[in-house]
Structures are given as C-alpha cells and as structure tokens.
C-alpha cells in the first residue's frame, strides 16, 4: 500500500473552493486514489475515486496529474457542513483500506 501525505489541517471560508492535495510518490501501476470524508461521531463516507486525469461527481472533483504521484480533491463552494476530516487513500481496488492521518478541514463563516 502506497504511503500518503496530506496537510494535517486546513481552514477556509464558506463559499470558497477548497483544494486538498495528497502526495503518494510510491503509487503503483494498479493503484487507485480514493477520498473519504468523516464527520465527528460518524463512519467515513466515500467521496470520489479515480485512476488518472480528472474525475467529477456531484460532490467533488479529483485531479490526478500524469505522473500520478499526487492528487487534489477539490470541493466547490464549501459550506459549514463540509467541516470534516478528509482521508486520501491509495491502493488496488480490492485492497483493504488503511487510513492515514487525514486532513481536518474547518470551514469558517
């Protein structure tokens, strides 16, 4: 399983676009990049998953450069309810998930 590095915490304001970058220099050919969101006292929730280039869904976008050694989760126009911990995970699709430390995102009014 590739090791990931993300900022420990980030602050932003309501209405802003938030970008959280994850480094995964040792990503393997068969590895996918997945992001989870966790609110306090709840289980993590899948946000988005991708292999290369760009993936977009109704919640977020995931940007993956050609070398795949990093990825950026983009949250458009955040609100207070987006305050949560965001985890970046890298591994093969049927790998067990090992969570890293995650990024604590705090949205300010």
Question: Contact residues for other proteins (CB under 8 A)?
Answer: 32, 34, 36, 41-46, 49, 87, 93-94, 96-102
76-83, long-range: CB < 8 A, 24+ apart: 76/17, 77/15, 77/16, 77/17, 78/12, 78/13, 78/14, 78/15, 78/16, 78/17, 78/18, 78/105, 78/107, 79/14, 79/15, 79/107, 80/14, 80/107, 80/109, 81/107, 82/18, 82/107, 83/39, 83/107
Nearer to other proteins, 21 or 49 (CB): 49
Nearer to other proteins, 8 or 66 (CB): 8
Least separation in angstroms between residue 44's CB and other proteins is 5
Nearer to other proteins, 87 or 107 (CB): 87
């Amino acid at each position: 399983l590739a090791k990931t590095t993300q900022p420990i915490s980030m602050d932003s304001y309501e209405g802003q676009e938030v970008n959280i970058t994850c480094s995964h220099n040792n990503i393997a050919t068969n590895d996918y990049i997945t992001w989870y969101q966790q609110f306090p006292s709840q289980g993590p929730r899948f946000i988005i998953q991708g292999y290369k280039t760009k993936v977009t869904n109704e919640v977020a976008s995931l940007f993956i450069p050609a070398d795949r050694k990093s990825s950026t989760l983009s949250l458009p126009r955040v609100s207070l309810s987006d305050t949560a911990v965001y985890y970046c995970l890298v591994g093969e699709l049927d790998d067990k998930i090992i969570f890293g430390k995650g990024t604590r995102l705090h949205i300010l009014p």
